[in-house]
Amino acid sequence: EPEVTQTPSHQVTQMGQEVILRCVPISNHLYFYWYRQILGQKVEFLVSFYNNEISEKSEIFDDQFSVERPDGSNFTLKIRSTKLEDSAMYFCATQRGQSSGYTFGSGTRLTVV
């Protein structure tokens, strides 16, 4: 069964550093999402991406965050200057079509120290 692949599985970074989280979507999927889950809390929507542009973003997705699909395969989430409160699990999810189910990656656990 096709999978959404996220790398790295765990990243530790110093406060103020830039991080890039990577997601390889399923090849025929068109809709992409990033979600965040702070430890012990609910999964929160960050941003959705379609046709090479952001289609919706939440209040959490401020100027420190950016997404892109630079090479047509990887879908990346960049945090420019990490803060302690960015420590969380970040999930990538993709959909083939608007009414299709979502396929989640296994997540990247980001720890900011």
Partner 1 sequence: AQKVTQAQTEISVVEKEDVTLDCVYETRDTTYYLFWYKQPPSGELVFLIRRNSFDEQNEISGRYSWNFQKSTSSFNFTITASQVVDSAVYFCALSGVGSGNTPLVFGKGTRLSVIA
- Residues near partner 1 (CB under 8 A) are 31, 33, 35, 41-45, 48-50, 55-56, 58, 89, 91, 93, 95, 98-99, 101-104, 106-107, 109
- Least Å from the CB of residue 59 to partner 1: 12
Q: How far apart are CA 79 and CA 41, in angstroms?
A: 20
Burial tier of 83 (Cβ tally within 10 Å: 0-12, 13-18, 19+): exposed
- Least Å from the CB of residue 95 to partner 1: 8
Q: How far apart are CA 94 and CA 24, in angstroms?
A: 9
27 or 98, CB closer to partner 1? 98
Amino acid at 96: R
15 or 54, CB closer to partner 1? 54
Q: How far apart are CA 31 and CA 100, in angstroms?
A: 10
34 or 112, CB closer to partner 1? 34
- Least Å from the CB of residue 42 to partner 1: 4
